[in-house]
């Protein structure tokens, strides 16, 4: 059961509460894996994924039949600084596209057999420009976290969170820089495709924001000062999924920045999550390295929307189908060497 999310204190308590994989299911799944009709380890990472999934679901022989994709949308005051190749109106236009089934994520969710929900967060009220002050007040942060918190279907058995928000590779870069240090240039990429002058300007904006909010506090304070509503909603959903024991597939750079805010507060906050893919946004690999996550796919995607996470659902489904559907040596009458 998810506690009601009324303020940051309840969120912090829930994030730090008791939850984890089921040891008996983990052991049962590992035992079963050792008896399946294949040479030991021959299914490579699929074996680890299936055992990990079984542990979080509390079922040594699980199935994935109800994956959920949630796309959160938000707008960013920092777009006034010219950080994106596209205008902010595209956020609401893309929300309509999602609702009409016309975006990439609609096709990828469908192909993966996932349901898809879209939550637009106050698109006509962008966050504040983080070069002049905190992006969100604490109340705004709680509201955004709560949208993600309550968007997770408790009956889902796998979750992908994605985002739409013109300008949001800038807050994602600022979050990464604030969490991990180094130069703004290390974390700033081209997003939707800014040119060289645009990249230099975006890097300056990231540096200014990180300097202004240098003493903001931990990952959740950084999320408030430098993040955005859809980024916070993703963090809220990822945290809720852990409590509901729903494994999560992370998407690209922006989703990983949201997740990183949680990992900064609790080091095992993302144990129920795998990295679906490595985005072509330059710094994504470095964020995943910081999180200790090895991506499942590397297809040169730089889209967001949950696209890479949705693609990776197919890999998890396949891993779990092998684990739970294969015959054991004894059942099949195959000599186990
Ligand atoms: C048509 C369109 C569809 C998208 N779908 C995801 N994004 C992606 O691009 C944006 C981030 O890049 P930046 O920081 O450069 O604005 C986000 O909305 C992200 O989801 C899109 C961007 C566009 C233009
Ligand atoms: O990796 C991502 O999520 C990403 C990269 C570029 C633009 N939008 C999203």
337 residues of the chain, pLDDT tens digit each: 899 999 999 999 999 998 899 999 999 999 999 999 999 999 999 999 999 999 999 999 999 999 999 999 999 999 999 999 999 999 999 999 999 999 999 999 999 999 999 999 999 999 999 999 999 999 999 999 999 999 999 999 999 999 999 999 999 999 999 999 999 999 999 999 999 999 999 999 999 999 999 999 999 999 999 999 999 999 999 999 999 999 999 999 999 999 999 999 999 999 999 999 999 999 999 999 999 999 999 999 999 999 999 999 999 999 999 999 999 999 999 998 8
Q: Please tell me which residue in 23, 163, 305, 331 is annotated as part of the active site.
A: 305
Distance 220 CA to ligand 2 centre (A): 21
Q: What angle do CA 112, 192, 200 make, to 5 degrees?
A: 145
User: What CA–CA distance (Å, rounded) separates 123 from 91?
Assistant: 8
Task: Classify each residue of 237-247 as buried b or exposed e, where b means 16 or more C-beta atoms within 10 Å of its C-beta.
Answer: bbbbbbbbbbb
305 as an active site residue: the answer is yes
Closest to 222 in 3D by CA, of 251, 190, 246, 187: 187
The pLDDT value recorded for residue 281 is 98
Pick the CATH number of 66-317 from 3.20.20.140, 3.40.50.10210, 3.40.50.10490, 3.30.40.10: 3.40.50.10210
Tokens of 177: 């820089």
Nearest CA to ligand 2 atom 9: 304
Which pLDDT value is given to residue 85?
Answer: 98
How many angstroms separate the Cα of 128 from the Cα of each of 9, 165, 206, 229? 23, 14, 14, 11
Contact 71, 118 (CB under 8 A): yes
Token pair of 68 as six digits:
């959920």
The candidate with the shortest Cα–Cα distance to 239, out of 5, 69, 14, 20, is: 14
- Of 209, 207, 205, 204, nearest to 226 by C-alpha is 209
Query: Of the bound ligands, which one is closest to the alpha carbon of residue 257?
Result: 2
Q: What is the C-alpha to C-alpha distance for residues 32 and 48, in angstroms, rounded to an integer? A: 12
Q: Partners of 70 in the beta sheet?
A: 117, 161
At 266 the pLDDT is 98
Q: Residue 185 C-alpha to ligand 1 middle, in angstroms? A: 20
Going by CA atoms, what residue is nearest to atom 7 of ligand 1? 303
User: Looking only at Cα atoms, what is the longest distance across the chain?
Assistant: 70
- What's residue 219's pLDDT? 98
Beta carbons of 88 and 137 less than 8 angstroms apart: no
Q: How many angstroms separate the Cα of 136 from the Cα of each of 29, 143, 227, 334?
A: 44, 10, 8, 61
Task: Assign 159 to helix, strand or coil.
Answer: strand
Nearest residue by C-alpha to atom 5 in ligand 2 = 302
CA distance 298 to 119: 27
Minimum-distance ligand 1 atom for the alpha carbon of 192: 15
C-alpha to C-alpha distance for 111 and 55, rounded to whole angstroms:
26
**Residue 141's pLDDT is what?**
98
Predicted local distance difference test score (pLDDT) of residue 127: 99
Ligand 2 centroid vs 333 CA: distance in angstroms?
Answer: 49
Distance in angstroms (rounded) separating the CA atoms of residues 57 and 244: 9
Look up residue 78 and give its two tokens: 């920092």
Sheet arrangement for strand 273-275: 115-120, 67-73, 158-164, 248-250, 273-275
pLDDT at 199: 98
Cα of 176 vs centre of ligand 2, distance in Å, is 14
Question: What is residue 273's predicted lDDT score, i.e. its pLDDT?
Answer: 99
d(CA 226, CA 313): 30
Which residues form ligand 1's pocket by a CB distance below 6 Å? 84-86, 90, 94, 163-170, 191-192, 303-305
21 CA to centre of ligand 1 in angstroms: 35
Counting from 1 in the atom list of ligand 2, the atom nearest the Cα of 254 is 3
Whose CA is closest to 3, among 14, 19, 16?
14
Structure token pair of residue 220: 């959740």
Of 270, 268, 276, nearest in space to 295 by CA: 276
Pocket residue to mutate for ligand 2, from 172, 279, 285, most atoms within 8 A of Cβ = 279
CA–CA distance, 130 with 224 (Å, rounded to integer): 10
């Amino acid at each position: 059961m998810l506690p009601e999310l009324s303020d940051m204190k309840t969120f912090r308590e829930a994030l730090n509460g008791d939850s984890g994989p089921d040891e008996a299911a983990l052991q049962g799944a590992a035992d079963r894996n050792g008896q399946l009709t294949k040479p030991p380890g021959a299914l490579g990472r699929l074996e680890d994924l299936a055992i990990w999934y079984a542990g979080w679901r509390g079922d040594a022989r699980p199935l994935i039949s109800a994956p959920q994709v949630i796309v959160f949308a938000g707008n960013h005051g920092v777009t006034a600084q010219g950080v994106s190749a596209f205008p902010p109106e595209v956020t609401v236009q893309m929300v309509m596209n999602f609702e009409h089934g016309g975006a990439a994520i609609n096709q990828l969710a469908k192909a993966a057999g996932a349901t898809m929900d879209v939550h637009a967060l106050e698109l006509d009220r962008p966050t504040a420009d983080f070069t002049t002050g905190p992006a969100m007040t604490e109340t705004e942060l709680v509201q955004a976290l709560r949208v993600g918190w309550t968007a997770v279907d408790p009956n889902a058995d796998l979750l992908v969170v994605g985002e739409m928000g013109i300008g949001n590779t800038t807050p994602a870069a600022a979050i990464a820089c604030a969490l991990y240090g180094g130069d703004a240039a290390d974390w700033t990429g081209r997003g939707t495709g800014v040119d060289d002058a645009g990249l230099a300007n975006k890097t300056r904006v990231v540096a200014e924001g990180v300097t202004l909010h240098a003493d903001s506090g931990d990952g959740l304070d950084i999320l408030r000062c430098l993040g955005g509503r859809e980024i916070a909603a993703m963090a809220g959903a990822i945290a809720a999924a852990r409590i509901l024991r729903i494994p999560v597939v992370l998407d690209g750079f922006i989703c990983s920045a949201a997740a990183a805010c949680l990992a900064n507060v609790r080091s095992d906050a993302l144990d129920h999550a795998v990295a679906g893919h490595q985005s072509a946004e330059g710094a994504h690999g470095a964020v995943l390295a910081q999180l200790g996550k090895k991506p499942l796919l590397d297809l040169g995607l730089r889209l967001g929307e949950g696209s890479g996470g949705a693609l990776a659902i197919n890999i998890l489904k396949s891993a779990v189908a092998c684990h739970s559907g294969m015959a054991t040596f004894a059942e099949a009458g195959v000599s186990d060497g």
